[in-house]
Chain A
């Protein structure tokens, strides 16, 4: 039996890695998640047959309730709300890792009260110094990830003010973090119940305080970071429990998540330190004011412009998703293609709220991938583009990122929309974008503004083109 369980864990770890590998290519991605899912089921079922376990009823209730809550919420959530759902589920995983650490520490505290060198690894009544250290480290990371992810969820869900800043915040956070490390060290040294409780309370607090000052624009990077941290925490707790599947899966996710975090931060031209300690929104109002005025265009003129163009590039942003305009835009695209216009989509790496989020939203509307271009591929093509249609995007097409060193987004790679012969911007109002920065593109000579709700405006264009 023992052999069979171990083999199941081995199979699960293998399926996770192969599944993740398949998920990294669009063709095999769907199969990848299924493989990983099979691995998860195998590992979970095998765990029920481990020797010397009890509390099976509690276990089943917790699994059923947890699964049902997650299943229903996961099925219901709109594609636009995906980032916060990932944050939520990730937070749950972090909390679970924290709970594993807590049980290990409390039971060792009750039994021996101190980390003992003679304790056998994987025992459930004692911890040696290595396993106690990893239990504390995993619990710290997991718990911070738990409360931090919940704050990220609440922020993206709009339940919480975007920012929470007070003077000396970083100093306070730093001191609390040092105190947390000290408490954790003390808990390893002397497995004292009071110290362990204080340690967990402080870890929860640090997670909240760390995430509160971070603005909405940086949230994807933070979620990705917490995802990596949860993986690491799972790996550490896996060592404590001597569970190979947890060690391997957790560490793979820890590393993959770190890589993904770096890729995202790079796409936004932000260092990780800057994201965590930079207070993006606080400086967002800065930057030079933009001269000039916006020029309006009406839907019929815009429709003519696009219908008789040779090439059109559509630049969708998060506003498109908010307005649920993906389907209308795809209809518009089909109408234009029928007329022989070459239509492509240009996607900024951070369009939407996570890298790739916009691709998901367009895929939902049925836009095929081969019409969608990345930043590097499309930027040289803007010069030869007749009309660039910007819909719901703002900061990612703002040329001040290239021209104004005082701007908070200076240096961020942008889509060179302003190089197109004509630019039409569909926008709800005259306000600034997610980061609160004035957009020079809107005032450019070749830019015309089409004011209106994204979905409505797209509909106007479709109707007008039908009548041409």
Chain B
């Protein structure tokens, strides 16, 4: 059970982690990184599955279905475009130093 201060701790520490990771990133990676973080909130798929998994009425099922559809789109689409971008960065030469 995550409640009260435990939730606050998790939110705060996760937020600091996010800030720290992006703070030192070169401009060259901003677009792939935005795309990558876009992929990571695709974890919403898991939540949508849980919501649909407990949906009882037709209305809830319809909304849950849309939620899972959209969540899967977020996760898969985010992965595909991020991977495509980062793959090109690699092909420009492994031994060269990063900008």
Nearest neighbor of B15 in chain A, beta-carbon distance: A255
Contact A230 B41 (CB under 8 A): yes
Residues of A within 8 A of B43 (CB): 12, 16, 40, 43, 234, 245-246, 249-250
Report chain B residues within 8 Å CB of A355.
27, 30-31
Interface centre among A53, A103, A355 (most CB of B within 10 A): A103
Q: Does A468 contact B (CB under 8 A)?
A: no
Verify A103–B60 contact, CB threshold 8 A: yes
> Is A92 in the interface zone, CB < 8 Å from B?
yes
3 interchain residue pairs of minimum CB distance:
A99-B67, A255-B18, A53-B53
Q: Which of A9, A75, A92, A252 counts the most B-chain CB atoms under 10 A from its CB?
A: A92
CB distance from B29 to the nearest CB of A (A): 6
CA distance A263 to B23 in the complex (A): 9
Which residues of chain B are within 8 angstroms of A242 by Cβ–Cβ distance? 1-2
Tell me if A368 and B47 are in contact (CB < 8 A): no
B70 touches A73 (CB 8 A): no
Question: In the complex, given contacts A23-B32, A96-B48, A99-B51, what are 16 additional A-B residue pairs having Cβ atoms less than 8 angstroms apart?
Answer: A24-B21, A26-B99, A30-B86, A32-B36, A54-B53, A74-B84, A93-B42, A96-B70, A130-B3, A233-B44, A244-B2, A246-B46, A248-B14, A252-B15, A369-B96, A370-B99
Q: How far is the CA of A352 from the CA of B33 in the complex (A)?
A: 15
**Bound Cα distance from A347 to B26, whole angstroms:** 12
A281 at the binding interface (Cβ < 8 Å): no
Check A86 against B35 for contact (C-beta < 8 Å).
yes
User: A90 on the interface (CB 8 Å rule)?
Assistant: yes
B37's nearest neighbour on chain A, judged by CB, is A253
Interface residue ranges, A against B (CB under 8 Å): 9, 12, 16-17, 19-21, 23-27, 29-30, 32-34, 36-37, 40, 43-44, 47-48, 50, 52-56, 58-59, 61-67, 69-71, 73-75, 77, 79, 82-83, 85-86, 88-90, 92-93, 95-100, 102-104, 106-107, 110, 121-122, 124, 130, 146, 223-224, 227, 230-231, 233-235, 237-239, 241-260, 263-264, 267, 347, 349, 352, 354-357, 359-360, 363-364, 366-370, 372-374
Partner of A241, one of B32, B51, B57: B51
Residues of A within 8 A of B1 (CB): 121-122, 242
Q: How many Å from the CB of A301 to the closest CB on chain B?
A: 32
Complex Cα distance A364/B51, Å? 40
Residues of B within 8 A of A56 (CB): 53
Given contacts A247-B14, A359-B28, contact A70 B72 (CB under 8 A): yes
Chain B: minimal CB distance from A82 (Å): 6
Number of interface residues of B (CB under 8 A): 87
Partner among B38, B66, B83, B92 whose Cβ is within 8 Å of the Cβ of A89:
B38
The A interface is mostly helix, strand or loop, or mixed, namely helix
Contact B71 A66 (CB under 8 A): yes
Given contacts A20-B36, A357-B31, contact A62 B18 (CB under 8 A): no
CB-based contact B99/A251 at 8 Å: no
Residue in A65, A82, A107 whose CB lies within 8 Å of B69: A65
- Give the one of B66, B73, B78 with max A CB within 10 A: B73
Once the chains are docked, how many angstroms separate the CA of A222 from the CA of B90?
29
**How far does the Cβ of A67 sit from chain B's closest Cβ, in whole Å?**
4
